[in-house]
Amino acid sequence: MSPVLALKLVFILGLVNAVTLLALFFSCRCIGARTPFSRMIKAGAYARLYKWHCYYWIILGLSVSTHLIIAIWVLGLPF
């Protein structure tokens, strides 16, 4: 794999990490019970988002692991 492609993958996986973290945050029932988000739980969109909550964790785990491996392979360890 070329270093340029690897850096692009690291960037894309970083975006996937951020989007997945946002999805986890907004689909978490603990956060939804808080006052500013309490109306969110009653919405139908929340039910559709929460249905996939467990899969968001799997996507995040795979994305973070791959992101870490490629970043270490391309950039090396800073120690």
Rounded CA gap, 41 and 26, in Å? 10
> Domain boundaries in the chain?
3-75
pLDDT band at 69 (very low <50, low <70, confident <90, very high): very high
Give the list of residues 6+ apart from residue 65 with CB closer than 8 angstroms, or none: none
Integer distance in angstroms from the first to the last C-alpha of the chain?
A: 24
Query: In terms of pLDDT, which residue wins out, 59 or 1?
Result: 59
Rounded CA gap, 39 and 44, in Å? 11
Query: Residue 36: pLDDT above 90?
Result: no
